[in-house]
C-alpha cells in the first residue's frame, strides 16, 4: 500500500455542511407529520451525524474499503484446513444461467426435469467419488453435514433397539466434530494421537465399547497425515458395533485416488464450498452433502431425487424412517450447480490430477521449509502440513509474529495455533492451483522472516507495518464489541 492510500481521508473528514451527492426536484408528495408514522418516543431529536459529501467521495470511499480486503483473487492464501481451493470463474457463470437461477423450488416436477437430472447426477457422482451407496444434498455446511450424519447414526442404532451414547474423536479432529456430536445429543470421548501424529490404536481399543455410537475421523487428519492403519481403525470400531464417520471437508488429497467407502466408512460429508468450486468465507452459503452406505439409506433426509423407469425424475417423499428434512427446500441449489460443473469439467482423471498436484505442492513447500522451521511430523504429507514456530521462541518471536510479518509481504498468513496438539503451530495448505513461482515466493519470504527473527527480532515483533490496522486487541474486540461508529 502506498503512502497516499494510507493517508486517504476518511469520509467523515471530507464532510462539509450542505454538500450532497444528488440533485432531485422538490418533492410534490404531501408530507405527513413524522409522529404519525413513527411513535414519538422513537423519533430522533437531532439528525443523524452522516457525512455530507459528493457522489465521487462516496464511490471512492467504498472502493477503497473493498481494496483493503484480502482474498484469493488478490494474493496467495495458504490457510490450512479451511483453505479456499480453486473456484473456476466459469462455474459462477453456469450457476447464473437463468434456467437454473430463476426456477422456483415449488415448481411442478415436470417443469424442472433438467434441474432434477442435475441433482440426481450429482448425487451419483458424489457417491462414486466417496465410495458410498447414496447421497443427500440437503445440508448447508460441513458442520450441518456432520450433524445430519450423526442423526442418521442415532436413528440406525435406535432402530436396532440400541442406545449408544458416545462418539469418539481423536485430538487432531476438526473442532466442529465434537461440537456436532454434542449438538446431536452424544457425549464425546477424545483420544490422543501417537508421536507420529496418527490415531493411537491402543487408546482407541480402550475407548470403544457397547456404548460407542461412532468414531469421527478426518483423514488425512488435520496434521495433513494419512491414517496408515485406517483398516484396523475401521475394524476396531465396527467390532464394537459402532459406525465410522469420515470428515471429508477437505478432499483435495484423495479424489480419484482412494475413497472413504473403500476404507470401511459408513458416512462421509464433503464441503462443496472447499473442494468443489464454491467460494467461501463471510458465512456462506455452502453445501455439505452426506454420503452413506446401504445400512443408513432408510434414514436419509427426505426428499431425495429419484429416476423413474421412463427416464423422468421426481422427489421421493415416501421414506418412512427418514430423519426428516434438514434444510428448507432441497439445499443450496446454486452451490450444487457449481459442484456439478466442477466435477463434469474435470472428469475422473482431472480430479485425480487435482489431488496429486495438491499433495505435490504441499510436500515441495514442506521440504524447502524444513531447514528453517521445525517439522514435528516429518515424512510425506497430504494436501497440507504443519510446522512449529517453537524454534524462534529463543529470540522472543512467536508464530503469531511470523504470521503478522507475512502481511507486510502481501500474503494471507497460514492457519496458526491449530491443531492444538502442536506447539506454536503453523498449518499450510498451498492448494493445487499455485505456480512454482508463487510457492517459491512464499517460501523465500518465510525463510527471510526466520532470519529476521534471529538477527532483528524487533522487526518481526512490531509487524505489520503496511496494513491499515496493525495488531488488534482481539480479546477486547470479542468481549466488548463496538458495533457502531460514534464519529461526529
Ligand X SMILES: *Cc1c(COP(=O)(O)O)cnc(C)c1O
Question: Does the protein bind ligand X through residue 100 (CB under 6 A)?
Answer: no
CA 153 centroid distance within chain? 24
- Of positions 149, 224, 256, 288, contacts ligand X by CB under 6 A: 288
286 near ligand X (CB under 6 A): yes
Question: Which three cell numbers, joined as nine digits, stand for 456?
Answer: 532483528
Candidates 176, 251, 332, 431; binder of ligand X (CB under 6 A) is: 176
How far is it, in rounded angstroms, from Cα 95 to Cα 99?
Answer: 9
Residue 249, SS3? Answer: coil
Q: Which of residues 249-268 bind ligand X (CB under 6 A)?
A: 249-250
- Residues between 328 and 357 that touch ligand X (CB under 6 A): none
Does position 247 interact with ligand X (CB under 6 A)? The reply is yes
Shortest gap between Cβ of 150 and ligand X (angstroms)?
Answer: 13
**Residues 52-91 contacting ligand X, CB under 6 A:** 81-82
Residue 322, interface with ligand X (CB under 6 A)?
no
- Contact by Cβ (8 Å): 199, 229: yes
Using the Cα atoms of residue 434, residue 435, residue 437 and residue 443 in order, give the sign of their dihedral. positive
SS3 category, 297: helix
Q: Which stretch binds ligand X (CB under 6 A): 137-145, 386-394, 425-433, 462-470?
A: 137-145
Applying CB under 6 A, the span of 247-255, 330-338, 342-350, 448-456 interacting with ligand X comes to 247-255
Q: Which residue is nearest to ligand X (CB)?
A: 142
CA dihedral 273, 275, 276, 282 (to 10 degrees): 20
Site size toward ligand X (CB under 6 A) is 14
CB of 393 to ligand X, least distance (A): 28
Closest approach, Cβ 477 to ligand X, in A, equals: 21
By beta-carbon proximity to ligand X, the closer residue of 81 and 388 is 81
Give the integer Cα–Cα distance in Å for 300 and 385: 34
User: Following DSSP, what letter does each residue of 345-377 receive, concatenated?
Assistant: HHHHHHHHHHHHHHHHHHHHHHHHHTTTSB-SS
Beta bridge partners of 426: 387, 416
Closest separation in Å from C-beta 327 to ligand X? 13
Site for ligand X contains 327 (CB under 6 A): no
Site string for ligand X, 203-222 (x = CB under 6 A): ---------------x----
As measured in angstroms, the least distance from the Cβ of 81 to ligand X is 5
Of 84 and 127, nearer to ligand X (C-beta) is 84
Q: How many residues are given for the chain?
A: 488
* Closer CB to ligand X, 221 or 361, in the complex: 221
- By CB under 6 A, name the one of 130, 219, 251, 271 that touches ligand X: 271
234 vs 249, beta carbon nearer ligand X: 249
Q: How far is the CB of 143 from ligand X (least distance, A)?
A: 3
User: CB under 8 Å to 183, separation ≥6 — which residues?
Assistant: 147
Does 174 interact with ligand X (rule: CB under 6 A)? yes
Output 274 or 404, the one with its CB closest to ligand X. Answer: 274
Query: Exposed, middle or buried, 435 (CB in 10 Å: 0-12/13-18/19+)?
Result: exposed
Query: Which residue has 517459491 as its cell numbers?
Result: 440
142 binds ligand X (CB under 6 A): yes
Cis amide leading into 167 (omega within 30): no
CA-to-CA distance for 172 and 421, rounded, in angstroms? 7
Rounded CA-CA distance 233/243 in Å is: 11
Task: Mark the segment that binds ligand X (CB under 6 A) among 121-129, 243-251, 324-332, 416-424.
Answer: 243-251
Give the binding range for ligand X (CB under 6 A) out of 105-113, 138-146, 223-231, 383-391: 138-146
Binding status of residue 148 toward ligand X by CB under 6 A: no
Nearby residues of 351 by Cβ (< 8 Å), 6 or more positions away: 129, 255, 256, 343
Residue 413 is a binding residue for ligand X (CB under 6 A)? no
Strand order in the sheet with 187-191: 134-136, 290-292, 267-270, 243-248, 212-218, 166-170, 187-191
What does the alpha-carbon distance between residue 150 and residue 137 come to, in Å, rounded to a whole number? 16
Task: Tell me how far, at minimum, the Cβ of 274 lies from ligand X, in Å.
Answer: 6
End-to-end, the C-alpha distance of the chain in Å comes to 28
Stretch that binds ligand X, among 19-27, 155-163, 242-250, 310-318 (CB under 6 A): 242-250
> Considering only residues 143, 207, 351, 366, which one is a binding residue for ligand X as defined by CB under 6 A?
143
CB-CB contact of 386 with 223 (8 Å): yes
State the nearest-atom distance from the C-beta of 174 to ligand X, in Å: 3
Smallest separation (angstroms) from ligand X to the CB of 335: 11
Check if the beta carbon of residue 408 is closer than 8 Å to that of residue 229: no
Strands 313-316 and 290-292, by their bridges, are: unpaired
* Minimum distance of ligand X from residue 409's CB (angstroms): 26
Q: How many CA atoms lie within 13 A of 379 on its CB side?
A: 14
Nearer residue to ligand X within complex by CB, 175 or 303: 175
Summarize as ranges the residues that interact with ligand X (CB under 6 A).
Answer: 81-82, 141-143, 174, 176, 218, 247, 249-250, 271, 286, 288
Amino acid at each position: 500500500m502506498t503512502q497516499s492510500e494510507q493517508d486517504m481521508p476518511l469520509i467523515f473528514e471530507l464532510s462539509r455542511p450542505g454538500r450532497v451527492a444528488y440533485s432531485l426536484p422538490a418533492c410534490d408528495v404531501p408530507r405527513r407529520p413524522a409522529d404519525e408514522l413513527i411513535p414519538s418516543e422513537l423519533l430522533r431529536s437531532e439528525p443523524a451525524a452522516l457525512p455530507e459529501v459528493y457522489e465521487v467521495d462516496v464511490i471512492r470511499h467504498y472502493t477503497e474499503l473493498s481494496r483493503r480486503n484480502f482474498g484469493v483473487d488478490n494474493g496467495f492464501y495458504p490457510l490450512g484446513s479451511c483453505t479456499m481451493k480453486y473456484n473456476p470463474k466459469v462455474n459462477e457463470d453456469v450457476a447464473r444461467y437463468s434456467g437454473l437461477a430463476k426456477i422456483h423450488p415449488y415448481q411442478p416436477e415436470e417443469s424442472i426435469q433438467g434441474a432434477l437430472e442435475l441433482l440426481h447426477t450429482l448425487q451419483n457422482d458424489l457417491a462414486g467419488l466417496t465410495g458410498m451407496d447414496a447421497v443427500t444434498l440437503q445440508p448447508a455446511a460441513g458442520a450441518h453435514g456432520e450433524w445430519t450424519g450423526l442423526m442418521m447414526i442415532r436413528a440406525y442404532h435406535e432402530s436396532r433397539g440400541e442406545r449408544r451414547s458416545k462418539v469418539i474423536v481423536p485430538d487432531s479432529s476438526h473442532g466442529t466434530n465434537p461440537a456436532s456430536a454434542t449438538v446431536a445429543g452424544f457425549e464425546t470421548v477424545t483420544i490422543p494421537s501417537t508421536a507420529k501424529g496418527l490415531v493411537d490404536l491402543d487408546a482407541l481399543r480402550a475407548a470403544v465399547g457397547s456404548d460407542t455410537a461412532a468414531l469421527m475421523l478426518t483423514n488425512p487428519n488435520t496434521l495433513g497425515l494419512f491414517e496408515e492403519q485406517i483398516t484396523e481403525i475401521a475394524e476396531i470400531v465396527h467390532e464394537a458395533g459402532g459406525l465410522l464417520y469420515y470428515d471429508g471437508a477437505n478432499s483435495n488429497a484423495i479424489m480419484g485416488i482412494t475413497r472413504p467407502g473403500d476404507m470401511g466408512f459408513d458416512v462421509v460429508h464433503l464441503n462443496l464450498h472447499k473442494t468443489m468450486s464454491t467460494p467461501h468465507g463471510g458465512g456462506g452459503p455452502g453445501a455439505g452433502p452426506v454420503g452413506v452406505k446401504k445400512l443408513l439409506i432408510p434414514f436419509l433426509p427426505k426428499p431425495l431425487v429419484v429416476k423413474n423407469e421412463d427416464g423422468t425424475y421426481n422427489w421421493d417423499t415416501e421414506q418412512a424412517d427418514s430423519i426428516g428434512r434438514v434444510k428448507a427446500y432441497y439445499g443450496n441449489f446454486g452451490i450444487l450447480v457449481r459442484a456439478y460443473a466442477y466435477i463434469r469439467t474435470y472428469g475422473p482423471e482431472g480430479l485425480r490430477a487435482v489431488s496429486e498436484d495438491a499433495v505435490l505442492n504441499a510436500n515441495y513447500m514442506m521440504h524447502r521449509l524444513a531447514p528453517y522451521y521445525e517439522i514435528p511430523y516429518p515424512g510425506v504429507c497430504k494436501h497440507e502440513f504443519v510446522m512449529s514456530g517453537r524454534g524462534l521462541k529463543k529470540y522472543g518471536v512467536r508464530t503469531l509474529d511470523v504470521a503478522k510479518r507475512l502481511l507486510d509481504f502481501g500474503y494471507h498468513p497460514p492457519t496458526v495455533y491449530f491443531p492444538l496438539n502442536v506447539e506454536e503451530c503453523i498449518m499450510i495448505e498451498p492448494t493445487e492451483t499455485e505456480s512454482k513461482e508463487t510457492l517459491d515466493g512464499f517460501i523465500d519470504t518465510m525463510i527471510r522472516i526466520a532470519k529476521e527473527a534471529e538477527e532483528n527480532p524487533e522487526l518481526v515483533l512490531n509487524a505489520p507495518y503496511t496494513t491499515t490496522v496493525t495488531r488488534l486487541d482481539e480479546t477486547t474486540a470479542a468481549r466488548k464489541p463496538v458495533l457502531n461508529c460514534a464519529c461526529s
